Amino acid sequence: MSILTKKFNDGNEIPIVGYGIGTANSRQECSAQIVSALNTGYRYIDTAEMYKNCPSVKDALAEWGGKREDVFILTKWGLADLSGNNDPRETLLKLLEQMGLDYVDLYLIHTPLVINGRTQSECWKMMEDLKKEGLALSIGVSNYREEDFLAFETTWEIPPAVNQLEYHPYNAHPANMIRMKTICDKHEILIMAYGSLAPLTRATGPPLENVIEGMAKETGMTTGQVLLKWSEQYSGGISVTTSTKVQRQKEQLEAFTIWPPLSDDQVDRIAQVGKERYFRHFGKSIWDKAAP
């Protein structure tokens, strides 16, 4: 079973679906879940300093026994309360040691808040140096709005490869998200969609509930698979999801390895109905301050 990949603006590639050790696994020892994900067929593991569980990656890779270079490993700089190291290099060195790695495939600034006392341009220069050093093969950002990109767009030497952010039918439609997508498209910055199951988990009920259930019957997929595929197709990017359950890990992966894409009409129907509701779970303090 092979997983399709998408190409970054620096030429490197990423599997189109990743297994995250945040949210459900956050602050938990989770090597068994990572081993299970790798055995299920995932080849991209999404980690972060904030999740405080990077040592589980080292244990999981040792137990799994496959080659490190066959797994795409992403990590992120920064702690929510800003108590962490204010230097992305020192943080990366710490996380590499915890994970037993020489390099990560992708290193992100977790949110524009963690730059804490430095300018976006200063922080990004430090990120560029990590790529040049080979400690991070690619570099990117997470939870960035249009205005965050504008703050360093004129000074970057290497544009971010990705913007990882909450992305689902209930938050993709506001103007600030459209502007974020426009600036990402301009620089070929790939969207990495997380929280895509919101209509099934954190924002249940109408108006999408019946539509998603109907589309699951129509396609033969599960409702979760429909939502994961929608985010990947509508954003043109990739999907980051998670589950503590082996059966759901398999189901989520199979959305991208077995099932064909949703039709344009199906994608559009979900997008149109999604516009009837607004919901955001992550990064409210940043996005509530975004220009509308």
Ligand X SMILES: NC(=O)c1ccc[n+]([C@@H]2O[C@H](COP(=O)([O-])OP(=O)(O)OC[C@H]3O[C@@H](n4cnc5c(N)ncnc54)[C@H](OP(=O)(O)O)[C@@H]3O)[C@@H](O)[C@H]2O)c1
Residues forming the site for ligand X (CB under 6 A): 20-24, 46, 110, 142-143, 164, 194-198, 200-201, 224, 240-245, 248, 282
Smallest distance from the beta carbon of 260 to ligand X, in angstroms? 20
Q: Which two tokens stand for residue 40?
A: 């299920």
Smallest distance from the beta carbon of 58 to ligand X, in angstroms? 17
**Close Cβ partners of 79 (under 8 Å, ≥ 6 residues apart):** 49, 50, 114
Q: For residues 131 and 168, which CB has a smaller minimum distance to ligand X in the complex?
A: 168
Q: Which two tokens stand for residue 17?
A: 């679906």
Q: Which two tokens stand for residue 129?
A: 């140096």
Residue from 51, 107, 144, 167 carrying the catalytic annotation:
51
Smallest distance from the beta carbon of 198 to ligand X, in angstroms? 6
Beta-bridge partner residues of 80: none
Backbone angles phi, psi at 104, to 5 degrees: -110, 155
For the four alpha carbons of 11, 101, 55 and 117, in that order, the dihedral sign comes to negative
Q: Is 51 a catalytic residue?
A: yes
Q: Which residue is nearest to ligand X (CB)?
A: 20
CA 258 to chain centroid, in Å, comes to 21
- For residue 138, which of 75, 192, 68, 90 has the smallest C-alpha distance? 75
Per the annotation, does 110 bind a ligand?
yes
Q: For residues 143 and 266, which CB has a smaller minimum distance to ligand X in the complex?
A: 143
Q: For residues 85 and 201, which CB has a smaller minimum distance to ligand X in the complex?
A: 201
Q: For residues 22 and 160, which CB has a smaller minimum distance to ligand X in the complex?
A: 22
Smallest distance from the beta carbon of 247 to ligand X, in angstroms? 9
HSE (CB half, 13 Å, CA atoms) of 176? 17
Q: Which residues are known to be catalytic?
A: 51
The binding site for substrate comprises 110
